[in-house]
Structure 1
Amino acid sequence: MSVYQKDDINLLIVDDSKDNLMALETSLEQDGLKIYTTASPKSAMEICLENDISIALIDVKMPEMDGFELLDLIKKNPLTEHIMVILITGYSMSSACVVKGLNKGAVDYLFKPLDLYITIAKVNSLITMVNYQREINNKNKELVSYQHDLVEAIEQTEKSKIVKENFLANMSHEIRTPLNAIIGLTSLLTASEVTRDQQEMIDMMDFSSKSLLGIVNDILESAQIDAGKIVIKREPADIAGLVQSVCNLTRPMANEKGLELICETDANIPSLVMADPLRLNQILINLINNAIKFTQAGTIKISLQLLEKRGDDVVLEFIVKDSGVGIPQSSINKIFTRFEQIEDKTWQKFGGTGLGLSIVKRLVELKGGKLKVESTLGAGTSFIFTNSYKDVTKVKALEITKKQIADLPKFDNILILLAEDNAINQFVAVKILKKWNIKVDIAINGLDAFKKLKENNYSLILMDTHMPVMDGNEATRKIRTELTGFKKDIPIMSFSASVLEIDRNDAKKAGANDFIEKPFELKTLNRKLHKLLDKQLANQEVLADQF
């Protein structure tokens, strides 16, 4: 895996006063920042194009071209539109003029006489933003490369189950590690103050990262179904609400292509039935994404109907219908075969791994349902699946209402040890944990974690599985066998980008109390931390009572 090297960030200062240029250049000098200056607005564009400028400080009032005109030139050129511009002006500027600059694309203002502390702080804030964007772009390039290697290698190792599982475990870790960083950084960026343009870029990065995560999950899912490791876990679920949520989630993608996504649910659907929401959600998202992908114009309709009711048993029908390219009758069975693509230029131009529909079919069958396809070439396709469910509305309504309360409570007086060798993942985890009032100490490998626990007191350890020098499982075993008292029994949550069942089992055998996979959901992490810490506190109270 490549190591990201930070390049200098190029900053341009444009001001017709040479004294101002010299003062700003001197005050902003720092390692990693290369500063260009010019007193001529006309030469500024040439400097931007030749030197890949990321940040520009531009005086508004200049004789040959004012700052607004230069800002227009920068934002209208595709090669320079990414530059973050701060306009410099006097305190006398009217509110209308300030708004004018912001509407043209400026990210901020500095007012004369300049306060150098404020100036340096604002520039440093933009430098941080540039570094975030570069880091995410670099990780996205790595992910594209990993995706290509992953799909190619899985085809070559299809016949060997042992080789395939080892490969998947390693590649899952390698891909999920940068994905965890990207998704975490994107969450942090979203919570910070950004412009509308920057928010749009962040949204695109978030979507791209989660799309790549979906591909990784599809490949892992396919392998686990082969190995018979997928278990359908039924629980009381609001099926109608789930369908509406999936529609709301996928509607922006449809709208982006100019498609109308319609969602209809039968009013007679029971409020709660025994189902596997995770797998049902997976089936519907796969089918809807497929419909969006192969539909150029028109509508996509998702419907949920009650077909039959016998006592507490109900039969439900799910339909995902599109007005897309359609499927040749001779190829309908082929679409459910892994890594297969229809031999038709109309279909081939859309690309894909050929895994989504294969997974859908096998999940529907694992759930005890039936899947069928109705399609007319050039007129659209309908994917229809039916399944039986048990109505538990009366029994479970109150219980589920309590379970669905989603809250992320904070912690009090907690110090945990984070054992993680990846610097970006350290940064993301610390930022998230601090928002929950958790103090964090960092260890860069398993041996470092063991030494720090020996010397300090912590409430819990978050232990990465894959680390140099000593991995997480070895460190956990060392803690459980060589330390005494509270430190020996400290709660340990193992986490890894590898998500195969063997990884969970290895962590448990080593002595971990719980396991969470990367990239993790904040609700899940918060809930698991509370569970472990509450249990630890209860045990301490029992011991105290005994004495």
Structure 2
Amino acid sequence: MVDTIEGVIFKTDMDGNFKYLNKGCLELTGISAEDALNKNYLDFLIGINNSENKRLQTFFSDYHEDFVTLFKFFKPTGEKVWIQLRLVLTYDDDGLANGTIGTMTDVTQLKETEIKLNLANKTKDEFLSTMSHEIRTPLNAVIGMSDILLMENFLPEQLENLQVLKYSSEHLLALINDLLNLNKFKSNEVKLAEDDFNLSELIQNIQLHFKHTAVNKSLSFETILDSCIPAVLKGDSLKLSQVLKNLLSNAFKFTHKGGIVFKVELLSSDLDVTIIRFSVKDSGIGVSYNKQKDIFKSFVQASDNTSQLYGGSGLGLYICKELLSIQSTSLQLESVEGEGSKFWFDISLKNSDNESALKQNHISKTNPIALKVLVAEDNQINALVLKKLFNKWEVTYEIAKNGQELLDIYDQKDFDLILMDLQMPILNGYDTTRFIRKMNDKSKSTVPIIALTAFSQSEVKEKTKRYKMNGYLSKPFNVNELHELLSFYSVRKQEAV
């Protein structure tokens, strides 16, 4: 019977010497049962890695109940096979372990399919990463220029056009981020930040973000903020904002008459934690009962023609669900098809006494920043955006087109800060930083260097640390973040003097 079973069945003593093998041994390993009998398993473990070998030895020495492993084996002909090994102890009449009985199964096809899938996923991730970089680079210029135009003196009738330009570019960026987040969720790379933020300001910014859409679609848009909620809270405001924008974007997309109610209400609060319910209610097309669970999956929409009628990637609610999941909460839905939907979630946020977070986060158009900045940026449009911002803030600067040009400038002049693009011709940002850190002049070798790149933080964070960079600024960069960064190093420079 055992000789007709596919795979290998065997027995060993407690030293690992084979005492029985069926005929399947020859087909799987290329070694006959007769040649393997009374020989030790160690004589045949060609290709098994050291950690698995040690686990197997521990199994025999410590009398573990069972053992499962997967290893690569090379037949005498050189052919490679993947083998799944399973072992359990056998006992004598006195209950003492006297050996093992086990099986070996050929899983080569399954393992090679897994390897191919992993390779395909890696290729897909690299493609998405590269494409996001290529898209973010020109998008950086669009968002940057719209910010600059809104900072300048413009005609009243131009305001609406500028707001549309800024909103559209930010919406495109949000779609790109959704695709990148999809990969991050699957690889567990998304991490929570915990910073002080002004909830009222966050809600106001979100309201302004959708005000233009409400007017264009002739919809009412009511925002209700509970006045009892503490002014300053501590949490990941960026991820919270992303969830709320996704929910409101869906509400406006699927609502043609009536309106949307965006409500923020206090559920409970003590000295340490405040629990808040965020809800978005619309009078739109609604979601049928049999689709209500599926719409939280990636690339799934309310109906087969939703994408054609309304656009979108089908990622919005999936992203919301995942972002809320890592914050220990979940997204709830009530909906009737043809009557509208209500999405809501409850979230716990820590209380904060940081009064500085109450201040509105506006950029000064005239307040100068006393700083000398050297920039490495090979993209002319991005360089133009930086030049315009630096001129407005009266920052002293020079811009190099590549790493080698930056080194030539830096060799002759001193700077307070370097903004370093990571991808450049001739000499990239990493190698340029390495040259600077090895300079004999300590004042030059220790200059603060901030990575300036369109790649996501998770893709470059470890590498920028390894090359001793001081921080990271994402492209398309937030104008407020750039202003705060320059102001920080300006203050630090003054304190050093």
Same fold? TM cut 0.5: yes
TM-score where L is the length of structure 1: 0.64
- Classify 1:529/1:347 alpha carbon distance in 2 versus 1 (closer, same or farther; 3 Å): closer
Matches of 1:266 and 1:280 in 2, distance apart? 17
Cα deviation, 1:144-177, whole Å, max 9, x if unaligned, reads xxxxxxxxxxxx9998443343223322211111
1:339 deviates by 1.4
Instruction: Quote the residue 1:278 is aligned against.
Output: 238
Alpha-carbon separation, structure 2, partners of 1:419 and 1:459: 14
Aligned to 1:520: 477
Instruction: Indicate conservation of the 8 Å contact 1:411/1:437, yes or no.
Output: yes
2:368 aligned with 1:410: yes
Preserved contact between residue 419 and residue 452 of structure 2 (Cα < 8 Å) = yes
Displacement, 1:385? 0.9
CA shift digits 1:123-144 (9 cap, x unpaired): xxxxxxxxxxxxxxxxxxxxxx
Write the distance in 1 (CA, Å) between the matches of 2:118 and 2:257: 37
Q: 2:438 aligns with which of 481, 503, 517?
A: 481
Whole-Å separation in 1 of the counterparts to 2:228 and 2:402: 56
Relative to 1, partners in 2 of residues 1:487 and 1:268: Cα closer, same or farther, differing over 3 Å?
closer
Q: Which amino acid counterpart does residue 217 of structure 1 have in structure 2?
A: N
1:319·1:383 contact (CA, 8 Å) conserved in 2?
yes
Cα offset, 1:318, TM superposition: 1.5
Instruction: Tell me the distance in 2 between the aligned counterparts of 1:364 and 1:252.
Output: 27
SS at match of 1:349: helix
Compared with structure 1, are the counterparts of its residues 169 and 500 closer, same or farther at alpha carbon in structure 2 (3 Å cutoff)? farther
1:407 CA drift (Å): 5.2
Runs of 4 or more consecutive aligned structure 1 residues displaced over 6 Å after TM superposition:
156-159
2-structure distance, mates of 1:363, 1:468: 37
Cα gap change, 1:310/1:538 in structure 2, threshold over 3 Å: closer, same or farther?
Answer: closer
Residues 471 and 261 of structure 1, relative CA distance in 2, 3 Å threshold: same
Which stretch of the first structure deviates more once superposed, 426-435 or 521-530?
A: 521-530
Equivalent position SS for 1:416: strand
1:269 equivalent to 2:229? Answer yes
Match status 1:466 vs 2:466: no
Q: 2:341 aligns with which of 381, 400, 420?
A: 381
**CA contact under 8 A between 1:417 and 1:460: conserved in structure 2?**
yes
Name the residue aligned to 2:18.
Answer: none
| 1:212 equivalenced with 2:172 (yes/no) | yes
Q: Give 1:250's aligned residue.
A: 210
Instruction: Report 1:152-191 matches (<5 A).
Output: 160-191=120-151
Q: 2:197, 2:235 within 8 Å by CA — same for their partners in 1?
A: yes
| Distance change >3 Å, CA 271–CA 423, structure 1 → 2 | closer
Contact 2:144/2:479 (8 A) holds in 1: no
SS at structure 1 position matched to 2:424: coil
Q: Say whether residues 1:354 and 2:354 are aligned partners.
A: no
The answer for the alignment partner of 1:3 in structure 2 is none
Q: Provide the C-alpha distance between the structure 2 equivalents of 1:362 and 1:344, rounded to a whole number of angstroms.
A: 23
Residue correspondences, number? 380
| SS, match of residue 163 in structure 1 | helix
Structure-2 change in CA distance of 1:258 and 1:504 (3 Å) = same
Q: 2:373–2:397: 8 Å Cα contact kept in structure 1?
A: yes
Alpha carbons of structure 1 residues 183 and 347: separation in structure 2 relative to 1, 3 Å: closer
TM-score (norm 2): 0.70
- How do 1:229-240 residues align onto structure 2 when only pairs under 5 Å count? 229-240=189-200
Letter matched to residue 378 of structure 2? D
| 1:240–1:304 Cα contact (<8 Å) kept | no
Aligned equivalent of 2:462:
505
Counterpart secondary structure, 1:470: coil
How far did residue 397 of structure 1 move? 4.9
Return closer, same or farther for 1:426/1:478 CA change in 2, 3 Å cut-off: same
Paired with 2:323 and 2:383, the residues of 1 have a C-alpha distance of 36
SS in 2 for 1:498: coil
CA deviation after TM superposition for structure 1 residue 296, in Å: 0.7
Matched, 1:341 2:301: yes
Query: Which whole-Å CA distance do the structure 2 matches of 1:444 and 1:399 have between them?
Result: 38
Distance change in 2, residues 1:449/1:483 (3 Å): farther
Residue by residue over 1:56-98, the C-alpha shift from the partner in whole angstroms, topping out at 9 and shown as x without a partner, is: xxxxxxxxxxxxxxxxxxxxxxxxxxxxxxxxxxxxxxxxxxx
Residue in 1 aligned with 2:75?
none
Give the distance between the partners of 1:268 and 1:197, measured in 2 at CA: 38
Which has the higher Rg, Structure 1 or Structure 2? 2
Matched with 2:41 is: none
Separation (CA, whole Å) in 2 of partners of 1:341 and 1:252 = 25
**1:437 maps to which of 361, 371, 394:** 394
Alpha-carbon distance in 2 for matches of 1:468, 1:178: 18
Give the direction of change, closer, same or farther, for the CA distance of 1:308–1:398 in structure 2 (3 Å limit).
closer
Deviation at 1:341, TM superposition (A): 2.4
Contact 1:157–1:163 (8 Å) recurs in 2: no
1:283-327 residue CA offsets vs partner (Å, 9 max, x unmatched): 111100110000011110011222345664443221100000011
Higher helix share: 1
Whole-Å Cα distance in 1 between the matches of residues 455 and 403 of structure 2? 17
Partners of 1:442 and 1:462 lie apart in 2 by 9
Is the aligned partner of 1:452 residue 2:412?
A: no
Gaps of 5+ in 1: 1-155, 542-547
Secondary structure of the equivalent of 2:310?
coil
Residue 423 (str. 1) matches residue 380 (str. 2): yes
C-alpha deviation, 1:342, in angstroms: 3.1
CA drift at 1:191: 4.7
Relative to 1, partners in 2 of residues 1:240 and 1:188: Cα closer, same or farther, differing over 3 Å?
closer
Report SS of the residue matched to 2:303: coil
- Work out the CA distance in 2 between the residues paired with 1:161 and 1:538: 49
Work out the CA distance in 2 between the residues paired with 1:225 and 1:198. 40
CA distance in 1, matches of 2:124, 2:466: 23
Alpha-carbon distance in structure 2 between the residues aligned to 1:190 and 1:270: 31
Whether 1:228 and 2:185 are equivalent positions in the alignment is no
